[in-house]
Amino acid sequence: MAPPRHHAHLLLAINVVLALLCHQPRSAASLSSNAAVSPSPSPSLLPPLRPMMQRGLMPRLSELPANPFTAKAAFVRYWNRKVHSNRPHPAFFFAKLSPLSPPDAAAFSTLAAAGQLGSRIRAFCAAASLLCPKTPSSSWTKSSSGEGAAAAAGAAPFKNYENGNFSSYGNSGGGGADQFAVYSSGQSSPVDSFRRYGKGSQGRNDSFTSYEAEGNVGTASFTSYNGGATGGAGGFSSYAGETNTVAMSFGNYDNTGNGRSREFMAYTQDANTGEESFAAYGKAANGAAESFKTYGNHSNSIASGFVNYGDKANGAADTFSSYGVNGNTPESTFKSYAADSNAGVDDFKVYRDDANVGNDSFTSYANNANGAAADFESYGKSVNPGSVMFKGYGLGSNPNHRIDFTRYSGDNTTFKAYSNDGVEFKEYQNMSKLEVSKLEAEATAARRPLPMWSPEPGKFFRERDLVAGNRMPMPDIADKLPPRAFLPRDIAGKIPFDATAVSVLFGAAPGTAMRQVVASTVAECARPPSRGETKRCATSAEDIVDFAVEMLGDNIAMRTTESTAGGGGEVRLGRVAGVAGGNVTRSVSCHQSLFPYLVYYCHSVPSVRVYEADILAVDSSQKINHGVAICHLDTSDWSPNHGAFIGLGGKPGEIEVCHWIFEGDMTWTVAN
């Protein structure tokens, strides 16, 4: 009689163990002593291994059955109980299952139940393939950069350097230069710290090139940077560019410096979400020259704060050449800027041009300044105006003080408590919708490119584009988030889905990018659903299956775009087929969130059509990919500023909007 089905995996595992024992190498003594007492395994128990045994070969690891006690095996059994569509297991989804071994899963589950998982959090992160905050792996303490072989060459080069802590570097150094190149590039969750850098140095130059570029969840801090330094120059090129969630801070920067010049080029350009702060920047400096070129341009949802900037400085010259241009929902705050300064010159050029909404404020700007000049050229020239406020502008300044605005524009602008003397507005206007439309028309006529925060070509398209033979742009659909795995439900359920609890457990300190990530994901999960939407944040693979079955029934299929081939270029569509016969249906789409372990934001919306399409190379018409696209037929509740309407035109409720399912995301439908 065949064994019961639920014992099959266990019997197979026993068979493998017995087979392996039979093939263990033994000494001659052990062979002779065991020959009479070691019975041969029953042939009926070992049919899978028998051909290999006859050939005298050991079974390869890939040929051995899965351990039935792993988290992966447990999920396979769960899937088979819940999903009855009789389709192959989706490899994309199953590849994200927890890699924890049975002993590790049991041990960490016990610790989680007792609230003691934090005591082994590093081991847990490594074993479970999670994204956890790092601690600086290196620490440099050097009272002077003028020591050692590097100083003999006149420079201290650092290349391909990552995740470091400089606690006291280059202090009191004289002459020469420090160079940092390719610093923490492409890293996940780097933590870089500079403390007491270049304090009291004399005529020493420094440069940072490609610092924390193309990373994920990067945290960097500079504390007491070049304080009291005399002479020399420094520059930052490509700082935190193309990063995903940043937390950058500069504190006590160039304080009480003498004759220093500093330039920032391409600072946090093309960055996605995060917070930046400058505190006590150039305070009480003498003859300093600070300039920022392309600061925060093309960024998405960056919050930036400058506090005590150039206060009590003497003869300073500060320039922002291109600040927040093409930004999407920027939030910038300047407090106590150039207050009590003497003979300073401050200049802002091209501030917020082509930005999309956002919230900016200037408080206490050039107050009590003496004989200085402050200029703004082209301020607030946003495509979609945001909220801008000036409060305490030039108050108490010496009559010799001169403040010019060449062009100040935008809706929702407020000036409060500014000086009546020495302030000149050459062109102050609230741009009406008519003027915005005119501006957009002029941009189209001049063939100017769309703002960088506009959606990439092909990210959104119309349903009529989904026809065989059509040539269309395809966006870069590659998953930009760091690789992580699901937690077993048994462990995930014991971790409170609370921003503070998760941050404390995983060591995400306040002010770090990881802390921001955790708080943002939890807040998005707590957001009330929109009209007609049913949403759930899934912290385990089982949660996703449960939600999909709850919404669609157990005859379901998971679909995603096969690969990233064709992304970022033009493609041609081959065969296009509508799921469920091309009828209007309901689906469940799940989008990956940034979190220490895999969390998916899943939502079900009515009135969609789902399509599968062969994606062909434009030149050869050879199939290079198989894409899944979803078309939202009801957009009436979408924001007018949604990227789909920026890219396609139209308004909420006027048009349907289609998009591809990106790598890392998925959609569930009823199985055909």
User: Regarding predicted confidence, which is higher, 605 or 448?
Assistant: 605
DSSP 629-657: EEEES--TTS-TT-HHHHHH---TTTS-E
DSSP structure string for 9-62: HHHHHHHHHHHHHHTS---HHHHHHHTTT-PPPPGGG-TTTHHHHHHT-PPPGG
Find the Cα–Cα–Cα–Cα dihedral 103, 105, 109, 111, rounded to 10°.
60
Distance CA 489, CA 395 (A): 60
Give the distance, in angstroms, between the CA of residue 2 and the centroid of all CA atoms in the same chain.
Answer: 53
Nearest 5°: CA angle at 14, between 8 and 17?
A: 145
Matching residue, tokens 């590849």: 95
Q: Determine the 3-state secondary structure of 298 from DSSP.
A: coil
Percent of the chain with pLDDT over 70: 65
Encode burial over 203-223: b for 16+ CB neighbours within 10 A, e otherwise: ebbbbbbbbbbbbbbbbbbbb
Angle at 667 between CA 664 and CA 672, to 5 degrees: 135
3-class DSSP state for residue 151? Answer: helix
Alpha-carbon span 128 to 495, nearest angstrom: 14
Average pLDDT value over all residues in the chain: 75
Average pLDDT over residues 482-497: 95
pLDDT reported for residue 39: 32
246-265 confidence digits (pLDDT tens): 777 777 766 676 777 777 77
pLDDT of 236 reads 72
So what's the pLDDT on residue 628?
97
Contacts of 650 (CB under 8 A, 6+ apart): none
Beta strands, E only, 154-288: 155-161, 164-169, 177-183, 191-197, 205-211, 216-225, 233-239, 244-253, 261-267, 272-281
Tell me which DSSP letter residue 464 carries: G
pLDDT digits (tens, 9 = 90+) for 287-343: 666 777 776 666 777 777 777 666 666 766 677 777 667 777 777 777 766 666 676
- Give this prediction's pTM: 0.76
Q: Is the dihedral of CA 640, 641, 644, 650 positive or negative?
A: positive
pLDDT tens for 10-27 read 444 444 443 333 333 333
For 535, counting Cβ atoms within 10 Å of its Cβ (0-12 exposed, 13-18 middle, 19+ buried), the class is: middle
Domain range summary for the chain, segments of one domain joined by +: 167-447, 463-483+529-670
Q: What pLDDT is recorded for position 452?
A: 57
pLDDT digits (tens, 9 = 90+) for 43-100: 322 233 233 333 333 333 333 446 888 989 999 999 999 999 989 999 999 999 999 9
- When comparing pLDDT for 396 and 605, which is higher? 605
C-alpha span between 342 and 121 (Å, rounded) = 52
Distance from chain centroid for Cα 629: 24
DSSP lists the bridge partners of residue 204 as none
**Would you place residue 176 in the very low, low, confident or very high pLDDT band (cuts 50, 70, 90)?**
confident
